Amino acid sequence: MATKSINTKVLVVGAGPGGYVAAIRCGQLGLDTTIVEADRHGGTCLIRGCIPSKALIHAASKLDDMRKHAGKGVLGIKLPQEPEFDLSGAVKWKDGVVDKLSRGVGSLLGRAKVREVHGWATFSDAKTCTVDTDEGEVTIHAEHVILANGSVATELPNLPFGEHVISSAEALNLPEVPKRLAVVGAGYIGLELGIAYAKMGSTVTFVEATDRILPLYDAALVRPVEQYLKKNKLKVHLSTKAQGVKVNKGVATLSAKSDHGDDLNIKVDKVLVTVGRKPNTQGWGLENMPVDMDGPFVKVDEQCRTSVSKVWAIGDLVGEPMLAHKGSAQGEMVAEIIAGQRRAFEPVAIPAVCFTEPEIIGVGLSPDEAKAAGYETKVGNFPLAANGRALSMEAGADGGFVRITARADNHVILGIHAVGKHVSELSGEFIHALEMGSRLEDVAGTIHVHPTMTEAFPESALSALGHAIHA
């Protein structure tokens, strides 16, 4: 079969949140655009990450809430018995959500007149790749190349993935709830999934190499999560390194050793390894381009240009934070630069949300980070226990709060953080205020709807100014 050849203005590799946004925006701007993807539309975030994990977290939380109504009940609502749970049914529902969104991405690409090639792209030089498709080999020559290859789960040498050791991708498709689950890594991915499986009925044990959970967040934000783990009897072994898994007569045991020399042997049905992700740089010809690297990542400037002319890289491939919304913003920017617009990737901050119990949101500098950067600050805290809407949704008793950090001299806001039930929905307001250069007075003087949890935001600003009304 003869090789098919395509010449295109823009070639996008990867249809994840960075790649498909870049391709759609290129198409909207009238650029002849081709996108190559070996998997389904949506990339890691949609297929095996953000969306499916949040769907299962929602199902687990709903189950957990219903259990509270069994017997004596709560809120005046009683169930005669505890609800039954079928993980395969939850997975089927989760897959339906993913399918709908994935099809939606395909429709958007089609509407933007983006040419799609399904298969694995392998580059022979910076502007040429071949793709093995079901219809045969396709060679693509491009003027511009946008690399959006994403990332893959990090595998530990002593814990290779297999029957008993799984990554987050496999954890989202288990046929049944494991009775005993060990989670190696107590960062946000491990805690999100571990807490969800505990709600489903697993006995969960966390094994973390560092001396604290969620090391990217400060102690005050993490404390309510620690309290939840303790209250719900989820075991956490800190300063402890997983050694390996042995199987004897069908029973798997995870061995671990603490920094104090203590040996642990944890009987498990599954071991979930969540020690991070690494850029997907292998197996597609990156070495043939070739571009400069920044450690394991592709090196780019503030416009996502690589060291090779008209080759761009975005998303997880170019470094932390490995977040979908960062990749999407970079993809949109690169498309507009190629079309002749003046753009640069210069966000004031990139928000991050941890969907634990309770949730954590972080935007900008924490008080400690601001101090380390040389700022004198004003810091305001407002407890969600003093917010009427939070209390009316059973969201005010978990130690949650909203915290705002601002410069002491001119009151310009440097960072906004919160922990508590439902606080992820406040993230848009937080980053908008920071990006617009708001001062404490701007937030404090903005009328917020009562009763809503958003009222905690101006109250935190008032607290920094020294006169919170409700706390």
**Can you tell me the distance from the alpha carbon of 353 to that of 324, in angstroms, rounded to the nearest whole number?**
12
pLDDT of 183: 98
What is the domain-level CATH number for residue 426?
A: 3.30.390.30
On whether both 289 and 145 belong to a single domain, the answer is yes
**For residue 221, is it within any domain?**
yes
User: Do 137 and 87 fall within a single domain?
Assistant: yes
- 178 in a structural domain: yes
Size of the chain, expressed as the number of residues it contains: 471
Residue 264 falls within a domain, yes or no? yes
Over the stretch 395-452, which tens digit does the pLDDT of each residue have?
A: 989 999 999 999 999 999 999 999 999 999 999 999 999 999 999 999 999 999 999 9
| pLDDT-based confidence at residue 471 (cuts at 50, 70, 90) | confident
In a domain, 240, yes or no: yes
Q: How far apart are CA 56 and CA 43, in angstroms?
A: 18
Closest CA to 23 of 317, 300, 331, 306: 331
Which whole number is the average pLDDT over 260-277?
94
The H-or-E segment that residue 246 falls in is strand 240-248
Selected catalytic residue, list 41, 118, 411, 450: 450
| The total number of structural domains that make up the chain | 3
pTM of the model: 0.93
Q: Are residues 302 and 436 in the same domain?
A: no
Is the predicted pLDDT of residue 3 greater than 80, yes or no? no
8 in Cβ contact with 142 (< 8 Å): yes
**Cβ contacts of 230 within 8 Å, gap of 6 or more:** none
- The whole-number pLDDT of residue 97 equals 96
Same domain, 317 and 359: no
- The answer on pLDDT for 19 being more than 60 is yes
Are 118 and 37 within 8 A, CB to CB?
A: yes
- Please provide the average confidence, as pLDDT, over all residues in the chain: 95
Residue 102 lies in a domain: yes
Q: What would the mean pLDDT of 107-129 be, rounded to a whole number?
A: 96
The residues, ordered by sequence, that sit 6+ positions from 146 with a Cβ below 8 Å of its Cβ are 10, 11, 12, 13, 19, 22, 23, 312, 313, 314, 331, 334, 335
In angstroms, the CA 99 to CA 93 distance is: 10
77/137 same-domain check: yes
Are 204 and 136 in the same domain? no
Do 224 and 296 lie in one domain? The reply is no
Whether residues 104 and 19 share a domain: the answer is yes
118 labelled catalytic:
no
One domain, residues 11 and 146: yes
Domain end call among 245, 275, 305? 275
**Element (H or E) spanning 186, and its range?**
none
Tokens, residue 15? 């249809």
Q: What is the DSSP string of 349-372?
A: ---EEE-SSSEEEEEE--HHHHHH
Question: Mean pLDDT across the stretch 288-310?
Answer: 97
| pLDDT digits 0-9 by tens, 180-228 | 999 999 999 999 999 999 999 999 999 999 999 999 899 999 999 999 9
Residues 6+ apart with CB under 8 A from 5: 138, 139, 140, 141
Assigned token pair, 332: 């949109």
Helix (H, G, I), strand (E, B) or coil at 12: strand
In this structure, the answer to whether residues 90 and 128 fall within a common structural domain is yes
Residue 374 lies in a domain: yes
Residue 397 covered by a domain: yes
Cα-flanking dihedrals φ and ψ of residue 410, to 5°?
A: -120, 0
Rounded to an integer, what distance in angstroms lies between the CA atom of residue 89 and that of residue 77?
A: 25
Domain span holding position 461:
352-465
- For the chain, percent of residues with pLDDT exceeding 70: 100
Spacing of C-alpha 455 from chain mean position: 26
319 and 388 assigned to the same domain? no
Q: Pick left, alpha or beta for residue 71 (phi over 0 → left; psi -120 to 50 → alpha; otherwise beta).
A: left
Task: Using the predicted structure, report yes or no on whether residue 1 has a pLDDT greater than 60.
Answer: no
143-186 pLDDT per residue, tens:
999 999 999 999 999 999 999 999 999 999 999 999 999 999 99
pLDDT exceeds cutoff 60 at 109:
yes
Same domain, 52 and 172: no
Which CATH number does the domain housing residue 184 bear?
3.50.50.60
344 located within any domain: no
Cβ neighbours for 403, distance < 8 A, ≥ 6 positions apart: 220, 221, 367, 379, 380, 381, 382, 416, 417, 418, 460
**If you average pLDDT over residues 353-363, what whole number do you get?**
97
Identify the pLDDT of residue 2.
Answer: 53
Rounded CA gap, 11 and 144, in Å?
6
